Structure 1
Amino acid sequence: MVTAQSRLSRWLITGSGVDNGPEFAGKVLDAWAYANEVQLDFIRPGKPTENGYIESFNGKLRDELLNTEIFFSLPETREKLEEYRLDYNTYRPHSSLGYRPRAEYAQQAASKTTTTQSKRKILALPLA
């Protein structure tokens, strides 16, 4: 859920893997990708395992937030999603990262890297 604008301000993305949902098949995203020279790589229909990390995150988001809350306005929805994103990236331990939060893991990885360019890339990696 990192916005394209914030990612682009750190370093240029050249591609993005997406599923075939209607939010990714529209003309607006296609026009944005073309204007920003971003290659959209669509997974094969019916093959969610090609996008396992995203499918896992979407399931957790649905189970932990979307199915437990009633949203009464778009601003409220955005606020709750931002709270979830901050918690997910800053405080929540992830088993794939040795039960460390994503932000902590990214900082440690960047501190072990020698070049500034590599540090920027590590810190700019998508944090849900």
Structure 2
Amino acid sequence: MKYYKHLFSAIKIGNTIDMLPFNQIGQGGSVMNMTALMAKLDELNVKFIFESKMENVEEDGIVISGKNNVKRKIPCDTIVLALGLRPDTDLGEELQDKLTCEVVCIGDCAVSQGTLKNAVSMAHCAAYNIL
């Protein structure tokens, strides 16, 4: 816990931009952890901008676009990226069409906002069903 206190006191976070809507943030994670994290970020006056994505990095800030593709510039001097993934089942579907066996997609290629725990669970279930 001391590490997190030091980390939070050493950094200044102004804006957090996320492509997801608010009600999808932290899905699949611990409710208790998300509640504590959101409370701490609120205490640090972190502003969230949901349903937006970063379009460009410029000398004095970033350009983001919202859900209506309206672009705006946010001044900043530091950018920290935490990139998510969107599920991509194309290869699995292509293999399913070509092969006579069942193809199972697991992890981030099958679900958005996957967690290691969920990926391992999906793999376990797939292996169990094979046996």
Report the TM-score when normalising by structure 2: 0.28
Question: 1 or 2, which has the higher helix percentage?
Answer: 1
Larger radius of gyration: 2
Question: 1 or 2, which has the higher strand percentage?
Answer: 2
Report the TM-score when normalising by structure 1: 0.29
